[in-house]
Structure 1
Amino acid sequence: MAACVLCRRLPRLRYLPGLREGFAQAQHTLVKQENETDDQEEKEGVLQHQEASFQGGYKLYYNPSSYHRSVWNSANSRSQADNDEDEQCLSAHAPSFWQQTNRYSVSCSRHLSSSKNTLLDLAFNKSPEPEISSVSLPHRKPVPPVVKVNSRAFLKCRPEYASMSLDLNQRPHPVKWEEALPLLHKVTVLKGSMKPSDVSHFLVELSRLHPDKIPSVRGDQRFIMLLRYSVEHLRLFSQPQLLDVLQAFVWLDIPSAHTVLELYEAELSRRSGQMSLRQLMFAADMWRCIGKQVPQFLQHLYDSVRLNLGQVEVPELVQLLYIMGEGRQCPKDLILPLEQILMCHLKRLHPEEVGAVCLGLFKSQTSISEGAVTRIVDKALSFVKEMSDLAIVNVLKYMRFSYMFHRPWLEAMAQEVPQRAHRMGVKGLMHVVLACSAVHYRNDNILNAIAERIPSLVPHCRSKDSCKLLWAYGTLGFLPVQSPSFYPSLTEALRQRKVEFLRYPEHLLTGLLGLAFVSQFPEDLIALALSPEFVNLALKSKQLDLKKDLFTLDGAVALELPHWTGPRLSSELREEVAEMLWKFAQSDVCQKPEVQEAEAALQDLLGGEEFVCKRMILVFDSVLDLTSDITETLNKPSSLGSTCQESKGTVKVAVQITSRNHYCSQSQQLLGLHAMKRRQLKMAGYRVVELNYHEWVPLLRKSRTEKLAYLHCKMFDKKAKIAQNLAPKANHNNSQ
């Protein structure tokens, strides 16, 4: 809420020379990408990092839009580390226990001369689904990861997992190429006379070849013929033979988009009623190893779980949650029973199993009760030093999803992360700092340790990693002077991967806003982000709404780069977003009791409602000055230049009603977005009067006289004894 409001329009500025041409050239240089780490963005989930802001009488639920993608490509790479690190998290279903006011909250076979294969031919001749986006990244040699992560380490905790999962580190006893050739020859000899046992035997034996020879086998026409006959015999396989063939497909590295796999999924789904719970889990795990999403089959698995809840012991529970995470879904009617089973068995979990449970809950976007989350984190804390780096990161991921502020765990992280950071990879470090920013926990031990490690990892940073790191550090108010190489190295990483933003424009906006929070404005990247071509690309996104991100960045440029001659958003787009935000503010923030009470009290203090104006300070075209002649200035046009040189005696005041969600936890340090707004108000010539939630909310229960006395002291810059008396009690009542 504001007693004085500045809003201004600047004329649209000219574009930087050559920007349009460079952008167009970048689009034409794209070539088919490799299956590397950066190509997993389709799996990126919803990191809903919403921030509530009272700034000039409105609350902006600020969602960096790169945290809202919920797209999954069925042909994703099966790379274990990549697949497990990418998140499908933070859906719109917020945990019920979190405060409602806290919104912070990636070749055709030859035709066989068989009259029985009409349906089979249709399946094999069907065009495979594309494995990559139509907008591809440039051909680039993949950078090997600095740290290899085993997301399936929990499978070594108990022998029972062997019957429900495939150990990818235990390949079958190898056979030589010379031993495989006779098998391929038999395929051409036997042809249609092959029995189901022959087909399964041949596939299993061929899967024992050395991985270097597997591509040669897959390209052999005799192998393609064998695959076709496997489909022809599909319904004749016994249960063990069917599972043996699926396991052979894992070792043969059958592409996840191969049409033969759809037929196998359908057959396994048909037989699900005849399979045990562990057999179904084993099949689900092999689909995971292949990298194919099988929602139809998983529904049958979940149906079996419902019927066999009594069989769900620790290994079944952990493996089931892992499978649910990889499938990105937990049926709603299973959440409560699984939570109850988890709480029953929690004491028996090993450190890596706790990490696997958290990862599964995180990836499946499953909200459980506050008490259950607290108990899980308590359990993790009890053996935190025994946990792997990955397990710790997984706990932090689920805390981020649940917005769980668990102070003992976070304090333990202040000890553990600095000791582990030097050996951790960029993805793990990114998730650590994202978790801290999500729960507003700033600890310089953690931030400094990660900031020192990141510059050496920049070659391994995806654009998503760099941008989210910038966002998290900016949110927590980590200033450039605290680590001179941190922000420059990540900013340069954005320049090196600039072309990736043609595919994922939301990441660039996330990174630039994180930089803007700490007064960093790389003008070449800003020119790209505000160019008409990029803006049009961003606005075409069907899954994301990037208008607010563009609007915020554009407004920051207008205020903080007075020399700017680069591109700006069109006035039409700015007006559209401003109107959208203002309508929301009027229906939400302006109805809050603390805002309405402040408005009424200010009107009494200043002499009437005409002297108080609720506005979105900084994007409107009028300025309201607190002077003796205030009525004449209600609609006075203004610009930034003129408002900074008002006549003597003029005082421009912006009254802000803050909430605790504007600050780092148990701190008076504003979070990045709110610190930026406060800075910009002062740049625009305002004296900011803050009605701190510690002081103002308790006063809502007091008399009108006490409220007016408090506001009088605030408005006229006098010490408010009443505020000082209230502060200790308010701090106690509002502690987290």
Structure 2
Amino acid sequence: MAACVLYRRVARLRRLPGLREGFAQARHLHEGRGKPDAEADELDGKEAERQRRDAALRGGYRLHYSPPSYHRPTRDSAASRSQTDNDEDEPCLSALAPSFRQQSNCYSVSCSRRLSSAKNTLLDLAFHKGSEPKTPSLSEYRRKPAQPNVKVDARAFQKCRPEYASMTLDLDRRPLPIQWDQALLLLRKVTVLKGDMEPADVTRFLAELGRLHPDKTESVRSDTRFLMLLRYSVENLHRFTRLQLLEVLRSLVWLGLPSTHSVLGLYEAELRRRAGQLTLHQLLLAADLWRCLGRQVPQFLQHLYDCVDTYLGQMGVPELVQLLYVMGEGRRSPRDLAHPVEQLLMRHLHKLEPEEVGAVCLALFKSQTSLSEGAVTRIVDKAHSVVEEMSDFAMVNVLKLLRFSYLDHREWLEAMAREVPRRAPKMGVQGLMHVALTCSALHYRNDSILMAVAERLPSLVPHCRSKDTCKLLWAFGTLGVLPSQSPSFYPSLIEALRQRKAEFQRYPEHLLTGLLGLAFVSQLPEDLIALALSREFVSLALKSTQLELKKDLFTLDGTVALELPHWTGPRLARELREEVTEMLWKYAQSDVCQKPEVREAECALQDLLGGEEFVRKRMILPHTRSIDLEVHLDSTGQPVPVNLASHKVASSPEMSFSTGPSHQGWERTNKGVTLSEELLAQLINTKKNTNHLTPSPAFQPPPLHRIEPDEGGRLFDICQDLTSGIPGALAKPSSLECAPLDLCKGTVKLAIQVSNRNHYCYQSKQLLGLHAMKRRQLQLAGYRVLELSHWEWFPLLRKSRAEKLAHLHCKVYSGLE
């Protein structure tokens, strides 16, 4: 008998139409429902019972499995603090989210059910059990620490002022708890009142249930009487006051309602409809409650942003900081708000507490809000004045803003050299990763900072995500930190990569990031490289529509070709290498090849050596993504033609590192530059006769005070004159007895590089990882690397033609002796 009753009930549940549609219509239909609907439901139930019985006789039972991996994880209060708030890579539902952020699985299993009549029995609500994903509750997050090394409170700034209490929810102050017996009594009252409940009753019941201990909330959420309470709440949404709506949301936060719950969509729609009636504090409170529930509400936030102009005159420090926090967590910066927000921020900047400064920096970073350079400088000035009072989390947030703005703030960076070593032993993985990543983005190498991070990390490896590990390897490799400087750092992180191979199936870009960082410092773990170049992994990487990974694969493949001569593992297909080579060369032709310093060097070398056929501008190693000026000299010091007869500047699709020079054009006699007494006299008197040192009319030097977005330091203020030793160098014989020779053809192959300050660490002469790797690999390919460094060549751009030629003569000939 019991089995038959259960069978009927299950059959009836399968016939209930869409839950979401029913909820959406509940407000309009609740008054008109009565016997006809009940009879229709009964008929549907009988028909379903008949069909189910027939299916049972045919063996038609099926088990529907809904794995948790297909559900977006719940973001409740604890999850918001430990995972979401302090991670700029959090998945964002907004279409405006930057493409580099990791995207979580968006698939979900929904149940098609219809909201039953208010006069039906409790059994009618059992359908809702199927519509609620099996997601962790608030208490489960607390029992399973996602970040066991160090926890941070991303909402600590809200404790700085009492004014935040009216527009935020303090997640650390739960209401006074009630006993389970009291909760059961409340649920019984729900069954008694049923459709006679008023909005005040619903609000009171939910508020009381929200006082339960976190361990008991899951039991309440699965109770059919609680589901009935939710149903009655949405049937009367239009009757709730604004305060009651906000109170219900607050209660649902404490109850840990999943962010995907259908009820929340109806509350969002109602609050969006009433947004124009809410005060500024109510709008901010609603946005904060949605944040605590972990639900993305871009349309509601847009209503909030539209109302900000009306309230600008009423906004003090707490309102401004909370608004920025909401913008950051929504991952969107309305363009029309940038200017008024910047003005308001500058007006109140001196009043900000240390944690509020950190919150502002994080919000600007997450929302990708671009302020003027002066505004960012003033914010960091303020942070510098209170850095010792800041938490580690707030300090890291300032670094994120610097990274986003590409601003080198000398005083702040010097303060980090003191603060990071002092704080590192107590910092968590993500904080340390962001410290290293900021140093890398700004090209700022400070061994006090980096060694403090390197010493702390090996003990935290079990808590590193693959993203953390790979970004750390990239940062340290970019800054040229060698394995000998921290013997345990690289081995421990390489082992961490091996332990997380499964994660790279979802995020292939992380593995490539980590391996390139390792390649910069000659660390090449062959098992991981074999994985990255395997046919399956390459296919997976190329499927990414949001990230361009071809260049990274190409760089890794080219590195293997040169640095692992014994390699027998997988390689990229020839077609893919040719495609990427062509893509890189087209970009170089439109960008790097057109830079004035490169064109001037090319022209001057052609004049020095006797013609354009003796200088070839190309990508000798295409996988290193930059060009060189290639020059060949024979054993007597005479230039050898390297350009094709057509004088086309083209890069070979194959990486033929020992391509022989073209022998066409030998009929032209090459004498180079004749060093006459007049030229020597002019060079010797350069300091005295400055009137003769006029720049070449063909070259107009660009302004050198602008910081480009991809450069981490300011231009060096250098003005270098030629010394009196240059005429002597020019007079020396061009003997190449000690120079490396091409054994096959007796030629010396020169790769002349025109560097800029973006190739070096901030205010130093240490090459960054990619450029250091390129020089190492050019030598492996049989080239002698000569550099026209920016501190030497850029000042010469404003000098005479003779001085440029003299400098190049020294580089090409004296450097080879």
Q: TM-score, normalised by structure 2?
A: 0.73
Letter in 2 for 1:87: E
**Residues 555-606 of structure 1, C-alpha deviations (whole Å, 9 max, x = no match):** 1111111111110110101100110010011111111111111111111111
Indicate conservation of the 8 Å contact 1:124/1:259, yes or no. no
Of 430, 437, 455, which aligns to 1:434? Answer: 437
Q: Is the counterpart of residue 177 in structure 1 residue 180 in structure 2?
A: yes
Indicate conservation of the 8 Å contact 1:455/1:485, yes or no. yes
What secondary structure sits across from 2:173 in the alignment?
coil
Distance 1:469 1:665, change over 3 A: same
Letter in 2 for 1:378: D
Cα distance in 1, alignment partners of residues 130 and 226 from structure 2 = 18
Distance 1:32 1:192, change over 3 A: closer
Cα distance in 2, alignment partners of residues 432 and 574 from structure 1 = 35
Of 317, 321, 325, which aligns to 2:320? Answer: 317
Q: Is the counterpart of residue 384 in structure 1 residue 391 in structure 2?
A: no
Equivalent residues in 2 for 1:118-157, closer than 5 Å? 144-157=147-160
Distance 1:188 1:582, change over 3 A: same
Letter in 1 for 2:632: D
Indicate conservation of the 8 Å contact 1:110/1:221, yes or no. no
Distance 1:302 1:130, change over 3 A: farther
Bigger CA drift: 186-195 or 314-323? 186-195
Cα distance in 1, alignment partners of residues 401 and 643 from structure 2 = 52
Q: Is the counterpart of residue 572 in structure 1 residue 582 in structure 2?
A: no
Aligned to 2:38: none
What secondary structure sits across from 1:625 in the alignment?
strand
Q: What is the CA distance between 1:257 and its match in structure 2? A: 1.1
Indicate conservation of the 8 Å contact 2:400/2:438, yes or no. yes
Aligned to 1:365: 368
Distance 1:523 1:606, change over 3 A: same
Q: Is the counterpart of residue 691 in structure 1 residue 692 in structure 2?
A: no
Indicate conservation of the 8 Å contact 1:405/1:439, yes or no. yes
Letter in 2 for 1:80: R
Q: What is the CA distance between 1:718 and its match in structure 2? A: 4.9
Of 195, 198, 217, which aligns to 2:198? Answer: 195
Q: What is the CA distance between 1:128 and its match in structure 2? A: 7.6
Equivalent residues in 2 for 1:15-164, closer than 5 Å? 32-33=68-69, 78-88=79-89, 106=103, 113-114=116-117, 144-164=147-167
Q: Is the counterpart of residue 296 in structure 1 residue 299 in structure 2?
A: yes
Letter in 1 for 2:266: L
Indicate conservation of the 8 Å contact 1:516/1:556, yes or no. yes
Of 768, 773, 781, which aligns to 1:676? Answer: 773
Q: Is the counterpart of residue 625 in structure 1 residue 632 in structure 2?
A: yes
Distance 1:113 1:396, change over 3 A: closer
What secondary structure sits across from 2:785 in the alignment?
strand
Indicate conservation of the 8 Å contact 2:631/2:752, yes or no. no
Q: Is the counterpart of residue 256 in structure 1 residue 259 in structure 2?
A: yes
Q: Is the counterpart of residue 334 in structure 1 residue 341 in structure 2?
A: no
Cα distance in 1, alignment partners of residues 170 and 543 from structure 2 = 43
Indicate conservation of the 8 Å contact 2:613/2:642, yes or no. no
Distance 1:529 1:489, change over 3 A: same
Aligned to 1:456: 459
Aligned to 2:812: 715
Equivalent residues in 2 for 1:722-733, closer than 5 Å? none
Q: Is the counterpart of residue 702 in structure 1 residue 799 in structure 2?
A: yes
Aligned to 1:420: 423
Cα distance in 1, alignment partners of residues 434 and 275 from structure 2 = 37
What secondary structure sits across from 1:114 in the alignment?
coil
Cα distance in 1, alignment partners of residues 655 and 285 from structure 2 = 69
**Residues 229-281 of structure 1, C-alpha deviations (whole Å, 9 max, x = no match):** 11111111111110000001110111111111111111111111111001100
Cα distance in 1, alignment partners of residues 785 and 145 from structure 2 = 50
Q: What is the CA distance between 1:187 and its match in structure 2? A: 1.7
Aligned to 2:59: none
Aligned to 2:286: 283
Cα distance in 2, alignment partners of residues 717 and 87 from structure 1 = 52
Indicate conservation of the 8 Å contact 1:109/1:224, yes or no. no
What secondary structure sits across from 1:565 in the alignment?
coil
Aligned residues: 630
Letter in 1 for 2:773: M
Distance 1:368 1:181, change over 3 A: same
Q: What is the CA distance between 1:150 and its match in structure 2? A: 0.4
Q: What is the CA distance between 1:612 and its match in structure 2? A: 1.1
Indicate conservation of the 8 Å contact 1:318/1:356, yes or no. yes
Aligned to 2:756: 659
What secondary structure sits across from 2:148 in the alignment?
coil
Letter in 1 for 2:218: P
Distance 1:372 1:76, change over 3 A: same
Indicate conservation of the 8 Å contact 2:118/2:195, yes or no. no
Q: What is the CA distance between 1:642 and its match in structure 2? A: 9.3
Q: Is the counterpart of residue 596 in structure 1 residue 599 in structure 2?
A: yes
Q: What is the CA distance between 1:455 and its match in structure 2? A: 0.2
Aligned to 1:100: none
Indicate conservation of the 8 Å contact 1:265/1:294, yes or no. yes
Cα distance in 2, alignment partners of residues 518 and 173 from structure 1 = 57
What secondary structure sits across from 1:541 in the alignment?
coil
Q: What is the CA distance between 1:438 and its match in structure 2? A: 0.8
What secondary structure sits across from 2:751 in the alignment?
strand
Aligned to 2:169: 166
Cα distance in 2, alignment partners of residues 349 and 631 from structure 1 = 66
Q: Is the counterpart of residue 229 in structure 1 residue 232 in structure 2?
A: yes
Indicate conservation of the 8 Å contact 1:154/1:356, yes or no. yes
Q: What is the CA distance between 1:696 and its match in structure 2? A: 1.1
Cα distance in 2, alignment partners of residues 388 and 542 from structure 1 = 38
Distance 1:670 1:374, change over 3 A: same
The structure with higher relative contact order (CA 8 Å, sep 6+) is 1
What secondary structure sits across from 1:564 in the alignment?
coil
What secondary structure sits across from 1:690 in the alignment?
strand
Q: What is the CA distance between 1:113 and its match in structure 2? A: 3.9
Cα distance in 2, alignment partners of residues 108 and 296 from structure 1 = 25
**Residues 91-121 of structure 1, C-alpha deviations (whole Å, 9 max, x = no match):** 9xxxxxxxxxxxxxx585986541899xx99
Of all paired residues, the percent bearing the same amino acid is 69
Indicate conservation of the 8 Å contact 2:256/2:293, yes or no. yes
Letter in 2 for 1:83: T
What secondary structure sits across from 1:379 in the alignment?
helix
Distance 1:522 1:149, change over 3 A: same
Indicate conservation of the 8 Å contact 1:180/1:206, yes or no. yes
Cα distance in 2, alignment partners of residues 156 and 487 from structure 1 = 40
Q: Is the counterpart of residue 586 in structure 1 residue 683 in structure 2?
A: no
Distance 1:675 1:131, change over 3 A: farther
Aligned to 2:493: 490
Aligned to 1:732: none
Distance 1:257 1:164, change over 3 A: same
Letter in 2 for 1:652: K
Cα distance in 2, alignment partners of residues 281 and 402 from structure 1 = 27
Distance 1:380 1:269, change over 3 A: same
Cα distance in 1, alignment partners of residues 784 and 541 from structure 2 = 36
Letter in 2 for 1:252: L
Backbone CA RMSD of aligned residues: 3.1
Bigger CA drift: 225-234 or 156-165? 225-234
Letter in 1 for 2:310: L
Indicate conservation of the 8 Å contact 1:560/1:680, yes or no. yes
Q: TM-score, normalised by structure 1?
A: 0.81
